[in-house]
Amino acid sequence: MTLDQREIRNGFGRFATGVTVVTCENEAGEPHGATVNAFTAVSLEPALCQVTLTRRSKACGYLDGAPFAVNVLAAEQQDIAWHFAGKPQEPGPLWAQGPTAPVLVGNAATISCRPWRTYDGGDHLIVLGEVVDLELTDAEPLLFFAGRFRSLRALDSGHHWAASVDCPESSWFGMPSAGAYQRVPA
């Protein structure tokens, strides 16, 4: 059975994701970014994360063996998401120099990585980075679901995560409490 690409996209789009901009330097050493919602944590030891980029993107070529940053966008950064998705916005983004690559200002979180591995992903490239620095803020993240940007809204289910053994407030997977992970040393 052959599936229609639009049907596949619609199916994948039913999974809500955060919105990131992967940043690096181009050949001229200038900051470059690409909006990516295919991002995930991979491992805690070593600390690894993954981004997946279409092979047609410029960023895909720039990331080959290069350090990069994953800028987890805040809910107020929808214009930044559009800017790096090929619809430039004025004014443009504010940049800062991060520990491994240029980063955007105002993120919910910024994850700085050095290259780890790159894998074939069909029409995409799967890039793993080793996390060497992490900056967190209290900003709510920008979300993407069913082809639209969204923001968080708490659901009152009457239940708290504490009912689960994976409660992030009481430390996921037996790790030290959340306050211990504000920065990952380089």
Q: Over the stretch 57-112, which tens digit does the pLDDT of each residue have?
A: 888 889 889 999 999 999 999 999 999 998 998 889 999 999 999 999 999 999 99
**127-141 average pLDDT score:** 96
Q: Looking at the predicted structure, is the pLDDT value of residue 186 above 60?
A: no
Q: Where are the domains of the chain?
A: 5-155
Beta bridge partners of 50: 40, 128
What is the pTM assigned to this prediction? Answer: 0.79
CA distances from 122 to 39, 52, 55 (A): 16, 11, 9
Residue 54 or residue 24, greater confidence: 24
Mean residue pLDDT of the chain comes to: 85
Q: Quote the CA–CA distance of 69 and 72 in Å, as a whole number.
A: 9
CATH of domain 5-155: 2.30.110.10
Instruction: Give one word for 130, left, alpha or beta, with left for phi > 0 and alpha for psi -120 to 50.
Output: beta
Beta bridge partners of 151: 142
Residue 57 or residue 15, greater confidence: 57
